Amino acid sequence: MGNQMDDIQKLVELNGDKVNQGTAECKEWKSSHENCFGCQYELGCTKTVKLGLTVLASNEVIDRILFAKTVAELKSIHIPEMAY
């Protein structure tokens, strides 16, 4: 999913939030902090992670729909609602 995460990172940055995951600056921050709270890139990195997890979850649902063998099986698949 590396390439997909790169695309998500670009999308987040196009919307104005800098993403700094995995950079030397990020590693330096993590060496002196327990977590990312307070980092100037926390918002952009968190958006990237959340969008990435959403894509993974959606792919799982898509796979379940595609591989279903019966209508009953399809009806049992929960489709998450959009959060507003």
pLDDT of 65 > 70? The answer is yes
pLDDT at residue 82 in the model: 52
**Mean pLDDT of all residues in 2-17:** 89
**Quick one: average pLDDT of 33-45?**
93
Residue 16, phi-psi category: left (phi > 0), alpha (psi -120 to 50), beta (remainder): left
Top-confidence residue, 36 or 58? 36
